[in-house]
Amino acid sequence: MQSFKVLDHDADIRLEVYGTSMEELYRNAATAIFSLITNPANVSPALEKKIMVSGNGELLINFLNELLFVWDVERFIPVDVSVSFQAGGLAAVMKGDIFDEDKHVIEMEMKAVTYHKFSLAQENGIFKATFVVDV
């Protein structure tokens, strides 16, 4: 099973992400976004960062936007993300590195994950999320 695919969308990037659990879906969503920003093969899991995100129905969007915020402010590139769900939100542990222009190439800048065409569903034991990223 592939973990994500890029779908056609006019001006932005539309992604469809899959997982056999919600934890895997969230991990694959983070991987999808950062795989488009830079090549993850060039990023070592040298540093660890922890974040807390709140939300219910919008939790995935909040989580991805928090990752983009951390990228924008700290230039932290996560390559290994694990999440644990808690009442009203989640805790995430991310392993990755700080952007280094000698090692990393920015392929695409992403501004935010939007609510436009957002969906989250489970079918036949597979979780699927579709969302649009403003680039």
Closest CA to 127 of 6, 1, 2, 25: 25
Residue pLDDT, tens place only, 24-77: 999 999 999 999 999 999 999 999 999 999 998 799 999 999 999 999 999 999
CATH architecture entry for 4-134: 3-Layer(bab) Sandwich (3.55)
The reported pLDDT for the residue numbered 15 is: 93
User: CB within 8 A of 2, min separation 6: which ones?
Assistant: 18
pLDDT higher than threshold 90 for residue 12: no
Domain boundaries, the chain: 4-134
DSSP state for residue 126 in the 8-state scheme: E
Whether 21 shows a pLDDT value over 60: the answer reads yes
Q: What is the mean pLDDT of residues 115-123?
A: 92
| Beta-sheet strand order (sheet of 76-86) | 47-54, 89-98, 76-86
pLDDT in tens, 104-113: 999 999 999 9
| Mean pLDDT computed over every residue of the chain | 93
Nearby residues of 3 by Cβ (< 8 Å), 6 or more positions away = 17, 18, 19, 24, 28, 31, 32
Would the pLDDT of 9 be above 60? no
Predicted pLDDT of residue 72: 96
pLDDT band with cut points at 50, 70 and 90 for residue 90 = very high
